[in-house]
Structure 1
Amino acid sequence: MVASVIKPTPNTDHDIKDLSLAPLGKQRIEWAGREMPVLRQVRDRFAQEKPLAGIRLAACCHVTTETANLAIALKVGGADAVLIASNPLSTQDDVAASLVVDQGIPVYAKKGEDAETYLRHVNIALDHRPNIIIDDGSDVVATLVKERQDQLSDIIGTTEETTTGIVRLRAMFKDGVLTFPAINVNDADTKHFFDNRYGTGQSTLDGIIRATNILLAGKNIVVVGYGWCGKGAALRARGMGANVIVTEVDPIRAIEAVMDGFRVMPMEQAAPLGDIFITVTGNKHVIRAEHFTVMKDGAMLANSGHFDIEIDLATLKDLSTSVTTVRNFTEEYRLPSGKSIIVLGEGRLINLAAAEGHPASVMDMSFANQALGCEYLIKQRGVLTPGLHPIPTEVDQEIARLKLQSMGIGIDTLTPEQVEYMNSWTSGT
């Protein structure tokens, strides 16, 4: 009934599931916006100053309520933006519909889209001939560099907010193919301290619980990787009463995990002990054949790294006699021995596949970094050299200040005497 009156905004191309979902999406976008006061202040300033006017922008992100608020801020700032999904299971179809219908933003995203559709959408984003790319894993940038050399002259720069994407950008720069500036949003303090540790920590367990409805207390949870995401997952799992084991390849992170009170061991020792495994490395095949064969019957595997390659699912499927969907986002792989291994969310980001991703209050800071990163690229056009550049410290600190202000929290400031002392070498004890 609603579908008969809802039409796409004129001249707005799109490839989404159902325009009639727009009213629900609009309601949910507004709800998330209540928890994003920093981005709201950025958007209000953008509305006055229009810093992105005349800029063609392509964003490859998880199409969620939080991303929608970023997309709206970019459009308000003057950008001619298109949005595609960075993950086939994270798209919220009602959000995609609202962005098309209510905001006139072209969106190319469907929950559950296959790899062929995803790649087609990547090329549609590049057909927009963007000046700035907001990427999530660097697939759009990599496709540009490999297949669209003629468009490199259009590019002012890119922003990237995932560890996986930063690793790829560093490799591109090392190989001499990254010929434009890239803003490392991922390593901004107001991003990785909060998004990765608190956002991933909470939302990962949320996704596991929604997919399985299991009790975490008393379970052996193996956290594979102790970066900021791993720290968050381990901390929250322990808070839920789980016995946490950490596996690592980095000796510094491993000793940090030990000092934080977690058991640390190689995966070959952890594999027979774990009830639930959470991969958060950004690498491939960190759980593989030799681990599958020694796992407990009913061991559960979940991924909160970026791509669906951390668990070697192709080998697991080859080893299995059957694969059965037993719940939404929950598949049982039956091995010849008779025992089963449970894979959650198809090995994709479990917090977005089975839940709703990070809380909006966390993404508030991450997406403020994205919006201000785009503005910084424009202001520094012709000044920034090719390669990776950090978010300026003053921008990072301003985002933190605005967040504290929105929470009603004040902090001290240095006195003139203290400033002088901190900048002097002549004063001793």
Structure 2
Amino acid sequence: MDYHVKDEALAEKGKLRIEWAAQSMPVLRSIRERFEREKPLQGVRVAACLHVTTETAYLAQALKAGGAEIRVCASNPLSTQDDVAASLVVHDRIPVFAIKGEDKDTYYRHIHAALGHKPAITMDDGADLVSTLHSDRRDLLEGLIGGTEETTTGVIRLRSMAEKGVLRYPIIAVNDADTKHLFDNRYGTGQSTIDGIVRATNRLLAGSIFVVSGYGWCGRGVAMRAAGMGARVVVTEVDPLRALEAVMDGYQVLPMAEAAPIGDFFCTLTGDIHVIGREHFQAMKDGAIVCNSGHFNVEIDLETLASLAVSRRTIRDFVEEFRMEDGRRIYVLGEGRLINLAAAEGHPSSVMDMSFANQALCAEYMVKNAARLERRVYRVPEAIDREIARLKLESMNIAIDRLTPEQEKYLHSWEMGT
């Protein structure tokens, strides 16, 4: 079996950590049990470019239980949990190509390795598999029946491809499922981002000024959790509707140029490039801490920061100090990459339970409906979204009401007035 992980001796530790995560993933467990019986993915080759965490490992096990032949690579050079990667190789015989801290060349070699078995389905977290297939491995496009995309950033890229008519196979935007972005993006990113910042810095958030750049679902989650830790939250936005919502939620809204001189912590979650740049670095106070929880490490203009600095050093794990000519120090966490995965463990497994349930069920859906899917980006079918929510509530022993026949009729009629 072809694979590339850091150390197979870590496999036992990884196995226990996967088992721990699985205890909080009852929805995916129920899907896995059904997959084991029905084998809906029998013989289907899957390439998954995802964060190699305990939760991803449980998804990979579920897909294999359903009959899939799966290969896994990392969707971020710093997000791999090496013990988990080793466990998938040693205990599950799943080829994994991922090492925490891998350089850019290795990262792309691993992507090509994951595509080496000519997949029929891709699973992406940022659309790097799709972009590689459309640039360097176009020879594999004809064999693809579909793909899934986990992130906001990836969906933006894929919709752009579809609009320009260059997308060569159908993709389901898992990120757009309500059971994904309303929970994973908000509660998962919120908690895990704060977790990563605190683990990396051990600094107190209470009483600080915490600048959140981008008030999408991820930004909402981080703002909510930072405020819950006692920080005074400032939001920066370019969208007037989101900025207005942030104001109504009780946060101060400022342009980044005005937030830069007052912020103690800065976290970008926009999906765009150079959100924090030269003018902001020049205005920041001594000791400002800058990090990113958007998918790619482009939101902070690190090249410009390096050019402004007279010295730089790693002062503790995942914390790099840039000293300015005037003596000010700016600290960048996790090389500007996803801080929740670079310095912490990513989203809690109970929220990833729903996200990865979407991945598993959408893979099954594509296999069943391959003949009628067009080359465009689809939403997750509403029936899948609602079934996952139902299963999650059931696992929490929570019951809800059902419409009576009279109520159903009323909602679907126009004859009855006030």
TM-score by length of 1: 0.97
Letter in 2 for 1:330: V
Q: Distance in 2 between matches of 1:174 and 1:416?
A: 42
Q: Distance in 2 between matches of 1:286 and 1:197?
A: 20
Counterpart secondary structure, 1:380: helix
Q: Distance in 2 between matches of 1:331 and 1:68?
A: 30
Counterpart secondary structure, 2:244: helix
Q: State the match for 1:232 in structure 2.
A: 221
Q: Distance in 2 between matches of 1:406 and 1:54?
A: 30
Q: State the match for 1:9 in structure 2.
A: none
**What's the CA shift for 1:151?**
1.4
Q: State the match for 2:268 in structure 1.
A: 279
The answer to whether residue 278 in structure 2 is matched with residue 289 in structure 1 is yes
Q: Distance in 1 between matches of 2:83 and 2:110?
A: 18
Q: State the match for 1:76 in structure 2.
A: 65
Range that drifts further, 39-48 or 123-132: 123-132
Q: Deviations over 1:52-111 (max 9, x none)?
A: 111111000000000000000000000011000111111000000100000000000001
**What's the CA shift for 1:421?**
0.3
Quick one: percent identity of the two aligned structures? 64
Q: State the match for 1:7 in structure 2.
A: none
Letter in 2 for 1:109: A
Aligned partner of 2:121 among 103, 119, 132: 132
Q: State the match for 1:193 in structure 2.
A: 182
Q: State the match for 1:374 in structure 2.
A: 363
Aligned partner of 1:181 among 155, 160, 170: 170
Q: Distance in 1 between matches of 2:407 and 2:43?
A: 45
Q: Distance in 1 between matches of 2:382 and 2:374?
A: 18
Letter in 1 for 2:385: D
The answer to whether residue 415 in structure 2 is matched with residue 415 in structure 1 is no
Q: State the match for 2:54 in structure 1.
A: 65
Q: Matched residue pairs, number?
A: 418
Counterpart secondary structure, 1:420: helix
Counterpart secondary structure, 2:320: strand
The answer to whether residue 349 in structure 2 is matched with residue 389 in structure 1 is no
Q: Distance in 1 between matches of 2:17 and 2:140?
A: 36
Q: State the match for 1:211 in structure 2.
A: 200
Counterpart secondary structure, 2:370: coil
The answer to whether residue 391 in structure 2 is matched with residue 402 in structure 1 is yes
- 1:238-257 alignment, distance < 5 Å: 238-257=227-246
Counterpart secondary structure, 2:73: strand
Aligned partner of 2:110 among 91, 107, 121: 121
Show structure 1 runs of 4+ deviating over 6 A: none
Q: Deviations over 1:108-143 (max 9, x none)?
A: 000100000001011112222110000011011101
- 1:144-183 alignment, distance < 5 Å: 144-183=133-172
Q: Distance in 2 between matches of 1:384 and 1:176?
A: 15
Q: State the match for 1:3 in structure 2.
A: none
Counterpart secondary structure, 1:324: strand
Aligned partner of 1:354 among 331, 335, 343: 343
Counterpart secondary structure, 2:18: helix
Q: Deviations over 1:171-196 (max 9, x none)?
A: 11122110211001001000000000
Q: Distance in 1 between matches of 2:181 and 2:144?
A: 26
Q: State the match for 1:47 in structure 2.
A: 36
Letter in 1 for 2:129: V
Q: Distance in 2 between matches of 1:93 and 1:159?
A: 24
Letter in 1 for 2:208: K
Counterpart secondary structure, 2:365: helix
Q: State the match for 1:303 in structure 2.
A: 292
Counterpart secondary structure, 1:142: helix
Q: Distance in 1 between matches of 2:104 and 2:143?
A: 27
Q: Distance in 1 between matches of 2:115 and 2:17?
A: 29
Letter in 2 for 1:158: G
Q: Deviations over 1:362-386 (max 9, x none)?
A: 0000000000111111111110111
Counterpart secondary structure, 1:97: helix
Q: Distance in 1 between matches of 2:139 and 2:195?
A: 44
**What's the CA shift for 1:148?**
1.7
TM-score by length of 2: 0.99
Unaligned ranges ≥5, structure 1:
1-11
Counterpart secondary structure, 2:245: helix
Range that drifts further, 224-233 or 147-156: 147-156
Q: Distance in 2 between matches of 1:18 and 1:29?
A: 17
Range that drifts further, 99-108 or 123-132: 123-132
Q: Distance in 2 between matches of 1:318 and 1:375?
A: 49
Letter in 2 for 1:300: I
Letter in 1 for 2:410: Y
The answer to whether residue 305 in structure 2 is matched with residue 316 in structure 1 is yes
The answer to whether residue 84 in structure 2 is matched with residue 103 in structure 1 is no
Letter in 2 for 1:63: V
